[in-house]
Amino acid sequence: MSRRLAAILFLCAAIGISLAVSTRSFDARISAKDLLREAARDGGPLDQIFAQQAGQGYYVDALITARQIASGVPRSASERELSGLTEELIQIRAENGDIQGAKEMVRQLSGSLLSPRGPETTRDIARIQVGRGDLRRALETTATPDDADKVMEEFGSREIANGDFEGGLKTAEQVSERSAYDLFYEVGSALRDRGEPQRLDELASHMTDRKRAAELVDAARFTLRPSARIASGTIQETPCDIAWSDGNAGKFAEAYRLVDQNRCRYSDIAVKQFAVDTVEAERELRRSTDTADVSNGLAYMSEAAAKKGDVSNAIRLLESARQVSGKQDFCPDCVREIAWAWTLKGQSRPVLRWARSMPIIDPGRSDALLGMAQALGHARPH
């Protein structure tokens, strides 16, 4: 009997391991790249597919999608559209950290897709390098002295924005006079915003180039002056404005009283209340006789529930919002948020079944695929 029991337990364990392995292998086959391709085949929003492909590093696929987008505009604008998307793709690739790959794309596509803006795209790459604090390599990227001057100005501008005025002014002594004046104006604005106008003369005294120091004082005085303010009377708040303020303060009973009396939007208050009391917020929202207000409020609640990871409630609220609105394609953002949150729970299989259960003509299908791809690929926000 003990041998028999041991054999049964061994068989059960083997079956369990086999199922676990098959599940993992199934999930491994679900890739963001393939999901984005499927969304494109299903007629999904090509601009969002392009953004995710570029953000996740699928540059060849993104270029194919860019061609699809360009083919859908009038022929007179098609070339300009494709050129602009190609520039955007190269910039995203550089922002992803693949500077060398971005430069190689410029080299390969200049004279064709980038013409005549190849040099400007190279300058954008250099600016991204400046943003990463790599001035030396940014200057190596630039193709002309004018580009180098613009990159130096960008570097000086970042120094000033970070409060490094002396560093910014040293940079201003190395650029063209026009770029220097732009930096001097920024110094004046920054000193004004910090409430430190008295530092201007001190900063000028530390500059090596006395001519530039005089130009600093001359230029910065214009932006040091306080901004002119337009005098106006007190703006009278409406009852709906007061209800909104009450909702922000968590005084929901007072807010709804004003909503009832003044025909304000229930959703404005219910969405705020949903963060602290989901049941009561939905109950109050459904008291509204405005179907558009109710459906919009339910949609906002669906997104909020998905962001909290409450997938089942998010789906219920979405379906309810669609029933109230009478539109099956209502709230694509809700679908993406639900698919994203659901996938992050490690449940790719049921999400994919949910997405593919929708007809191809239903925009929600591709929206769900996009949400899954976002969760699986961790695309850079775009």
Q: Residue 332's domain is classified under what CATH number?
A: 1.25.40
378 pLDDT more than 80: no
Q: In angstroms, rounded to a whole number, what is the distance separating the alpha carbons of residues 49 and 65?
A: 8
Q: In angstroms, rounded to a whole number, what is the distance separating the alpha carbons of residues 100 and 151?
A: 18
Cis preceding-peptide flag for 197 (omega within 30 of 0): no
CB 48 within 8 A of CB 56: no
25 domain residue, yes or no:
no
Q: Which percentage of the chain shows pLDDT scores above 90?
A: 64
90 domain residue, yes or no:
yes
pLDDT at 330: 82
What is the number of domains present in the chain? 2
Same domain, 220 and 244: no
- How deeply is 65 buried, as exposed, middle or buried, from its count of CB atoms within 10 A (0-12, 13-18, 19+)? buried
pLDDT band at 305 (very low <50, low <70, confident <90, very high): very high
Same domain, 311 and 357: yes
What is the per-residue pLDDT across 216-252, written as a single tens digit (0 to 9) for each? 998 888 888 765 444 444 556 788 999 999 999 999 9
Which of 201, 224, 247 is the endpoint of a domain? 224
DSSP 22: H
Same domain, 201 and 245: no
Same domain, 286 and 191: no
pLDDT at 321: 94
Q: In angstroms, rounded to a whole number, what is the distance separating the alpha carbons of residues 43 and 365?
A: 10
Which of 224, 254, 286 is the endpoint of a domain? 224
DSSP 3-state of 135: helix
Q: In angstroms, rounded to a whole number, what is the distance separating the alpha carbons of residues 215 and 219?
A: 6
From 335, 319, 328, 317, select the one nearest 371 (Cα to Cα). 335
Same domain, 41 and 147: yes
First CA to last CA distance, the chain: 63
Q: Which long-range contacts (CB under 8 A, 24 or more apart) does 145-149 make?
A: 147/119, 147/122, 147/123, 149/175, 149/176, 149/179
Q: Is the dihedral of CA 314, 316, 320, 323 positive or negative?
A: positive
Which of 173, 198, 224 is the endpoint of a domain? 224
Q: What is the mean pLDDT of residues 44-71?
A: 95
CB 74 within 8 A of CB 66: no
SS3 readout for 48-103: HHHHHHHHCCCHHHHHHHHHHHHHCCCHHHHHHHHHHHHHHHHHHHHHCCCHHHHH
From 205, 161, 157, select the one nearest 183 (Cα to Cα). 157
121 domain residue, yes or no:
yes
pTM given for the model: 0.74
Q: What is the mean pLDDT of residues 344-372?
A: 89
3 domain residue, yes or no:
no
Q: What is the mean pLDDT of residues 272-277?
A: 94
103 domain residue, yes or no:
yes
Same domain, 262 and 347: yes
Q: Determine if residue 346 is left, alpha or beta; phi over 0 gives left, psi from -120 to 50 gives alpha, anything else beta.
A: left
Q: In angstroms, rounded to a whole number, what is the distance separating the alpha carbons of residues 313 and 296?
A: 16
User: Residue with structure tokens 């009283």?
Assistant: 257
Mean pLDDT of the chain: 86
DSSP 260: H
Same domain, 276 and 161: no
pLDDT band at 4 (very low <50, low <70, confident <90, very high): low
pLDDT band at 29 (very low <50, low <70, confident <90, very high): confident
Q: Which percentage of the chain shows pLDDT scores above 70?
A: 87
Same domain, 211 and 328: no
pLDDT at 380: 56
Same domain, 146 and 183: yes
pLDDT at 13: 46
263: containing domain: 239-377
Q: What is the mean pLDDT of residues 140-161?
A: 90
CB 106 within 8 A of CB 80: no
Same domain, 321 and 367: yes
Same domain, 114 and 193: yes
302 domain residue, yes or no:
yes
Q: Determine if residue 313 is left, alpha or beta; phi over 0 gives left, psi from -120 to 50 gives alpha, anything else beta.
A: alpha
Same domain, 256 and 314: yes
pLDDT band at 3 (very low <50, low <70, confident <90, very high): low
234 domain residue, yes or no:
no
Between 38 and 328, the more confident residue is: 38
14 domain residue, yes or no:
no
Q: In angstroms, rounded to a whole number, what is the distance separating the alpha carbons of residues 333 and 242?
A: 29
Q: In angstroms, rounded to a whole number, what is the distance separating the alpha carbons of residues 348 and 337?
A: 14
Helices 278-285 and 266-274: crossing angle, nearest 10°? 170
Between 113 and 370, the more confident residue is: 370
174 pLDDT more than 70: yes
Q: In angstroms, rounded to a whole number, what is the distance separating the alpha carbons of residues 88 and 83?
A: 9
Name every residue whose Cβ is closer than 8 Å to that of residue 225 and which is 6 or more positions away in sequence: 192
